[in-house]
Structure 1
């Protein structure tokens, strides 16, 4: 492989690693009760990113002609659950914030 494409692949790999590493503290802070409501949009955004990353791996694996495509690129197994759980948690936090504004007690 030529040097330029190889360096580009390394750069993209490390960019993705940085995004994933930075998003972990954002999700942790968003999970704390004290910060859940203020950070809900950040959690939803980061979770959408993780879901999109997982779908990229699924899509790339699906277009491969070989069988067992689900496990050809197994990174989606870790990315999608985190993203989906984050979306679920962020949307629940948003609903709780709406209930609090309407005067409905939280459960």
Structure 2
């Protein structure tokens, strides 16, 4: 058993749940009610749900890795860590280039995603 991977997976599952519940309320509902034309609105709606699935599957993979040692587990964990670093980087780049005051707090998702990467990486040691 690898406690780091289990903690990373549990954290990622919480992030996925938060994305689904809070993001659905705060992002998806306003998006669907907005002035975008039908096609871009539906594409963004689909992408939202793709990210939810992606987060949930990444959480499941980390928990699966944490339950017992697996062939190739370290490689999978590094890929998942990179995945969460990339997601964090996107949020940081978008926040920092928006011209907002306190940009790091405006889109704080990176603060939830980066610890998953760090925990997954810690599990590879």
The aligned counterpart of 1:102 is none
Query: Aligned-residue CA RMSD in angstroms?
Result: 1.4
Q: How does 1:6-17 map to 2 (within 5 A)?
A: 6-17=41-52
Match of 1:57 among 68, 76, 91: 91
Match of 2:103 among 52, 66, 69: 69
- C-alpha separation between the residues in 2 aligned to 1:37 and 1:53? 26
1:47 touches 1:83 (CA, 8 Å); kept in 2?
Answer: yes
Q: How does 1:1-107 map to 2 (within 5 A)?
A: 1-32=36-67, 34-35=68-69, 38-90=72-124, 92=125
* Runs of 4+, deviation exceeding 3 Å: none
State the structure with bigger RCO (CA 8 A, min sep 6), 1 or 2.
Answer: 2
**Which structure has the bigger radius of gyration?**
1
Instruction: Count the aligned residue pairs.
Output: 90
- Between Structure 1 and Structure 2, which shows a larger proportion of helix residues? 2
Instruction: Give structure 1 stretches of 5+ with no counterpart.
Output: 93-107
Shift of 1:31: 2.0
TM-score (norm 1): 0.77
What CA deviation, in whole Å up to 9, does each residue of 1:4-54 have, x standing for no partner? 11111111111111111001111112223x325541111111111011001
1:62 touches 1:70 (CA, 8 Å); kept in 2?
Answer: yes
